[in-house]
Structure 1
């Protein structure tokens, strides 16, 4: 073995020993559910129970981010939808704020988004705190933090004042697009097509995980504690066990968002201001001056998935 290779192996071993097993926090957006197929209260309850069963089987301390407007029917709180959030709490999982109406910060003013953040506390803040749990994390709609320095800084200051910590994402992906395609296959009652979408989804997500692992290795010279964005949708209800198996096979243990954020990587400066809702790994890379070649290779959604997702039914 060459001296260079020996030193490389030694550095890897020391890094692994210092930071331990690879860790990942599972974060889930758009609670209680976002599905074109599961639209009735009964089907959304089944979707929620499937997700929770997967988390329990793999001992995942997931956190869900709630769109409080989704908890209403005809402008009034809907006890059946609120009960879905109680299921999450009964499972011992944490919940956070994903605003009231999921407004795009690129399209609204700071004052309008501020009102949306406060609206996101309706029902949920009391529900969570009655359990003696904190309502402390905020997830940005579309991962957009502000397309100008003024908007970004204003939102950061407001969230701190409100007692929130921003919930970052390192492993970004288009699970929502696969789930829309999957919903369409189910609506068409085409079980073979749905199974094909599910298979392609798990493959795609494995590629996304590998890509962002490589990005973190390039940026920090070591594996970091990752945070992955998923959605409370149909495809995850049916295929989350396969995805969690992939993560286990890649050497990950599942940790809380709180634990993942103790990794010093999350102290990295983020000066990115732009319209894109992008991974924090890419925000940090851009802040560090990385150029186009650094970002090459991000997995793409297959054309057939895109076509099916956007098909008019």
Structure 2
């Protein structure tokens, strides 16, 4: 009996070791400046903290830029060179972060093109032809979505997908307000909500992937280059590591078949989020565990 039990334990351990680690590609939107700044914090300090946390965790950090911010906040401009000097890539998040639903396809693609000279200068001969849609919006009509995708295909772009997001952007403004008021208890509550939300959404994304594929896919995590993100990223990365995740590049993650139509926008559009893929198969998506309403009331 003991021998049989020992064999079973050994087999279980071997299976656990053989199971591939779920992987996350971490992407950072809104470089070089996102959301409000707490007193005494600079964009350069935020970028330095994000890059250090990424290096410490060996988590590649693909950044997506809005060039207009170098005009609106000139002190943020060094962030983009810092990102490149750290060996991290940059891609296109449009010039001024408009919602495609409010523009024509031609207006929107002009926004993408306006960002390109800056990306060419920063990236040199490296691949910068990745687009992250602002607000993750591909427009308000199928025709608009298709027109922009055709332009992207003709201009050799890939689309940066999102298969994991816990609305980290929504924590940055409350954090700035709470720091301005010196409300340390509220900041601690924000920290707990941030980590709890990240953990719950990681479980949610995995549940959807397993419902669709019977196993994990490589996940693309959406983050934002804000002050609270910089404060929390070391703890966030540890949370993911403690949950068994490893980190990978965006390009490697999106080699999975789930991302095929974002890697080649000339293909007929298919669901490109786990939620829409679930809906297309008639499966219910788990509810979003992040309470955005509660965040609005912090330190008002």
- Count of aligned residue pairs for this structure pair: 283
* Of 216, 221, 244, the match for 2:214: 221
- Please report how far the alpha carbon of residue 100 of structure 1 lies from its aligned counterpart in structure 2 after TM superposition: 0.5
- Please report how far the alpha carbon of residue 45 of structure 1 lies from its aligned counterpart in structure 2 after TM superposition: 0.8
TM-score if structure 2 supplies the norm length?
0.87
- Please report how far the alpha carbon of residue 297 of structure 1 lies from its aligned counterpart in structure 2 after TM superposition: 2.5
**Counterpart secondary structure, 2:23:** strand
* Of 204, 208, 212, the match for 2:205: 212
Contact 1:168 1:280 in 2 (8 A): yes
Contact 2:28 2:223 in 1 (8 A): yes
CA 81–180 in structure 1, closer or farther in 2 if over 3 Å, else same: closer
2:277 matched residue in structure 1:
284
Q: Note the residue ranges of structure 1 that are not aligned, 5 or more in a row.
A: 1-5, 273-278
Does 2:250 align with 1:260? no
Separation in structure 1 between the aligned mates of residue 128 and residue 121 of structure 2, nearest angstrom: 9
Contact 1:22 1:252 in 2 (8 A): yes
- Please report how far the alpha carbon of residue 184 of structure 1 lies from its aligned counterpart in structure 2 after TM superposition: 1.3
- Please report how far the alpha carbon of residue 122 of structure 1 lies from its aligned counterpart in structure 2 after TM superposition: 3.7
2:83 matched residue in structure 1:
88
Separation in structure 2 between the aligned mates of residue 298 and residue 127 of structure 1, nearest angstrom: 37
2:120 matched residue in structure 1:
125
Contact 2:46 2:230 in 1 (8 A): yes
Separation in structure 2 between the aligned mates of residue 178 and residue 290 of structure 1, nearest angstrom: 33
Contact 1:35 1:183 in 2 (8 A): no
Q: Please say which of residues 181-190 and 259-268 is displaced more in the overlay.
A: 259-268
Separation in structure 1 between the aligned mates of residue 78 and residue 179 of structure 2, nearest angstrom: 26
Superposition map of 1:49-60 within 5 A: 49-60=48-59
TM-score if structure 1 supplies the norm length?
0.83
Separation in structure 1 between the aligned mates of residue 144 and residue 292 of structure 2, nearest angstrom: 35
1:297 matched residue in structure 2:
287
Separation in structure 1 between the aligned mates of residue 39 and residue 224 of structure 2, nearest angstrom: 15
Contact 1:185 1:193 in 2 (8 A): yes
Moved over 4 A (4+): none
CA 133–38 in structure 1, closer or farther in 2 if over 3 Å, else same: farther
* Of 103, 108, 111, the match for 1:113: 108
Separation in structure 2 between the aligned mates of residue 125 and residue 199 of structure 1, nearest angstrom: 40
**Counterpart secondary structure, 1:295:** coil
